[in-house]
Structure 1
Amino acid sequence: MIADRRSRAVASLRGLTVGDSFGGCFFVPDNLPALRARALPPDPWWWTDDTEMACSVVAVLHRDGRVDQDVLAASFAEHHDFDRGYGPSANRMLRLIRQEGGDWRELARESFGGKGSWGNGAAMRVAPLGAYFAEDLDRVVAESAASAEITHAHPEGVAGAIAVALGAALTTLRGADLLDAIAARTPAGAVRDGITAARGLLDADPDTAAMALGNGREVSAPDTVPFCLWIAARFDDFAEACWATASAGGDVDTTCAIVGGILGARETAIPHEWLRRCEELPDWSGVTLGGSALRQGR
């Protein structure tokens, strides 16, 4: 059972990393013609904070079999690399934890004028957790909420993480069935409303869906998660899902990371050429991509 859990989490992490690295290429203006032509951007494909934090999630689950919030917060802070594209709030928080012994509970609550963050950062890293606890959906909800609270105290930030984790856990469902099952366990609010809206757009094209649901441009959970789940409900092919996600623009590394993590949890085949172009995972993660020729570091 433990080996199965670990295998599922690793498969999701690999998908998340490839999606993150692929999507991140399109923040480089020179690569935008490749996106329009659906031509693979040149390597190397570097992963971002999405992958770095997801590696901590997986490492803690492998060690403890649960989310120990203090341990996970310490791992986030220890491995925080400023150059990986973290947002200003996360940079400040993780620096204060690592350098000054700050308490993540206080720091998470005080951010954004005491409201806590409702950004998409908790959702971007959580898919491997959903895969790990897939046989127990109540546990998926509880553990994903615990993982989110370390950095995202706002209920919408937590709800976004719960919804994505459920998407990674419910590997046998597609279409309206998937969205209904996720919405049924996602706390009431803007994220759940977006998932409900996504259900009514299953016949739309990606640009139309993104226009209605958001594409992460606002870097919030409500503006990011419903569209990613719409993609997961519509697509099973890894490459097609990532191209459709990236074509909508917005916070492309994060939207592709979420989609990649969910499809990875389904053990959807990742094209070998995509794996080869990606930067390898950090040694401390204990996981390799199994196809990348690129070592960590830039």
Structure 2
Amino acid sequence: MTTDPRSRALASLRGLALGDALGSQFFVPDNRTRLDERRLPPAPWQWTDDTEMACSVVAVLAEHGRIDQDALAASFAMHHDFDRGYGPSTNRLLRLIREGGSWRELVADTFDGRGSWGNGAAMRIAPLGAWFAGDPVRAAREATLSAEATHAHPEGIAGAVAVAVAASLLAGADRSEPADLLDAVLALTPAGRVHDGIATARELLPVASASLVARQLGNGSRTSAQDTVPFALWAALTRLDDFREAFWTTASVGGDVDTTCAIVGGIVAAGGVEPPFEWGALCEALPEWSLTPGAG
């Protein structure tokens, strides 16, 4: 594993983007039978808002070495592409930030002042964990700052923390058993529904059937952090050595496929497992601004 944080983050970002782009293809009705048969859909595969926001996270880390919340919110707003599949509330939030609104006030006002507990903060965060390899406490702190730029609800923040911690541990060459890795994630994930879901995921580690596990944990269909992150962690940590198997297992349960596969792809790649070369060749390239420090 490289000692360069940017290289680690970019490796995770590529895994995330591939999981996102390929997963998103299975929302197309004609491709659903391909999922059941584990056949790849026609290329090119375009990534969604999951990857676009993850690119901003990496760009801000490359420029500042940490999460600067003002810079991150500005990057989200600057690079916001309505056609990438953002949710309505995020579309509105980023438009208002672009028009000069205070991201702190806007985020706090979402969902009648409750804040969002959606899975958006978790879907983009694995590269941050890779950046802070072997330092899960720092990863948790920086993931919180990243999440707060769009999510004020504690569950939305907890989902980001859990994913970042898992990626940090794996990028730091922690090859503990999945149960031990989940214990380490639980130790740093704030109490709440995400935490409880991860605890259940730990209990379900011996279960081989992804569909049975998803029935217990959720598959992201509600787009909440608590409905998404526990299953994604189960899928990633039980298939750490095989990107293909991790992807197909995650996608097989349906739900918010692009997001669950983005999380899993980012975590597995953070652990040093490269996506299949032939898959990467079929995926939309990352934007240049995410690859060049200072360009985001």
> Shorter-normalised TM-score: what interval?
over 0.9
Instruction: In structure 2, give the amino acid aligned to 1:218.
Output: R
Instruction: In structure 2, give the amino acid aligned to 1:247.
Output: S
Deviations 1:12-66 (A, max 9, x none): 0010000001100101010001101001111111000000000000001001100
Secondary structure of 2:4's counterpart equals helix
Q: For residues 179 and 135 of structure 2, what CA distance do their matches in structure 1 show?
A: 21
Task: State which of 179, 189, 193 in structure 1 corresponds to 2:192.
Answer: 189
Report if aligned partners of 1:50, 1:121 keep a CA contact under 8 Å in 2.
yes
Q: For residues 85 and 3 of structure 1, what CA distance do their matches in structure 2 show?
A: 34
Higher deviation after alignment, 3-12 or 119-128 = 3-12
Q: For residues 163 and 113 of structure 2, what CA distance do their matches in structure 1 show?
A: 25
Q: For residues 86 and 264 of structure 2, what CA distance do their matches in structure 1 show?
A: 19
Q: For residues 227 and 12 of structure 1, what CA distance do their matches in structure 2 show?
A: 19
* Aligned position for 1:233: 237
Query: Counterparts of 1:207-218 in structure 2 under 5 Å?
Result: 207-218=211-222
Task: State which of 179, 184, 201 in structure 2 corresponds to 1:176.
Answer: 179
* Aligned position for 1:33: 33
Query: Counterparts of 1:214-293 in structure 2 under 5 Å?
Result: 214-236=218-240, 237-286=242-291
Deviations 1:63-85 (A, max 9, x none): 11000000000000000000000
Under a length normalisation based on structure 2, what TM-score does the superposition of the two structures give? 0.95
Higher deviation after alignment, 135-144 or 180-189 = 135-144
Report if aligned partners of 1:174, 1:232 keep a CA contact under 8 Å in 2.
no
Higher deviation after alignment, 74-83 or 233-242 = 233-242
Shift of 1:178: 1.2
Shift of 1:3: 5.9
Q: For residues 51 and 29 of structure 2, what CA distance do their matches in structure 1 show?
A: 22
Which segments of 5 or more consecutive residues in structure 1 lack a partner in the other structure?
Answer: 288-298
Higher deviation after alignment, 126-135 or 255-264 = 126-135
Pairing 1:74–2:78 present: no
Report if aligned partners of 1:126, 1:161 keep a CA contact under 8 Å in 2.
yes
Q: 1:228 to 1:174 in 2, by over 3 A?
A: farther
Deviations 1:210-249 (A, max 9, x none): 0000000000000000000001120020010000000010
Which segments of 5 or more consecutive residues in structure 2 lack a partner in the other structure?
Answer: none
Structure 1 vs Structure 2 CA RMSD: 1.3
Shift of 1:174: 3.7
What percent of counterpart residues are identical? 65
Instruction: In structure 1, give the amino acid aligned to 2:187.
Output: A
Pairing 1:7–2:7 present: yes
* Aligned position for 1:142: 141
Query: Counterparts of 1:93-132 in structure 2 under 5 Å?
Result: 93-98=93-98, 100-132=99-131
Shift of 1:269: 2.1
Higher deviation after alignment, 70-79 or 126-135 = 126-135
Report if aligned partners of 1:26, 1:32 keep a CA contact under 8 Å in 2.
yes
Secondary structure of 1:260's counterpart equals helix
Q: For residues 186 and 35 of structure 2, what CA distance do their matches in structure 1 show?
A: 32
* Aligned position for 1:198: 201
Under a length normalisation based on structure 1, what TM-score does the superposition of the two structures give? 0.94
Report if aligned partners of 2:189, 2:195 keep a CA contact under 8 Å in 1.
yes
Q: For residues 189 and 135 of structure 1, what CA distance do their matches in structure 2 show?
A: 25
